[in-house]
Amino acid sequence: MTATEKVTRELTGIQSADIEAALDPAEADGIYRDSRECAALALFKGGYGLLLSPPTPRPKKG
């Protein structure tokens, strides 16, 4: 690493750890986890309409 690059890294604060974290992200939080329905949609009933359809409403707790 050249002196200029070292200064630049210090100024931007970007380290290899930041890069590696960006390259190994955890899965984003989601709201829908019904694996059986995902399989069914992909294999048997897939299509624009069903992809567009909203997730099945879940009963509220409490």
Partner 1 sequence: MEQSGTSSLLKGAVQDLASGVVSALRSGDHARAAALERADGEAEGLAPAAVRVLGADALLPSTLLHTPPLPDELAVFRKAVEAYPPGDDAAPTVLWSHWAMRHTLRRHDPGYVGGPRQEPDAAWLEGATWQVLTHQLAVLAALAVPGEDCAVARAARHRPVDVARGFVRAVRRRDWRQAAGAGRWLTLLEGVPQTLGLENGLDFVELMGGQDPLVALQVSAARLTRAGAFA
Residues that bind partner 1 (CB under 8 A): 1, 5, 8-9, 11-14, 16-25, 27-28, 30-35, 37-39, 41-48, 50-52, 55
Q: Which is nearer to partner 1, 5 or 61 (CB)?
A: 5
Q: Which is nearer to partner 1, 28 or 62 (CB)?
A: 28
Q: Where are the beta strands (DSSP E) in the chain?
A: none
Q: Structure tokens of 56?
A: 């099945």
Q: Structure tokens of 14?
A: 């970007």
CB atoms within 10 A of CB 34: 12
DSSP assignment letter at 42: I
Q: To the nearest whole angstrom, how small is the minimum distance from the Cβ of residue 57 to partner 1?
A: 14
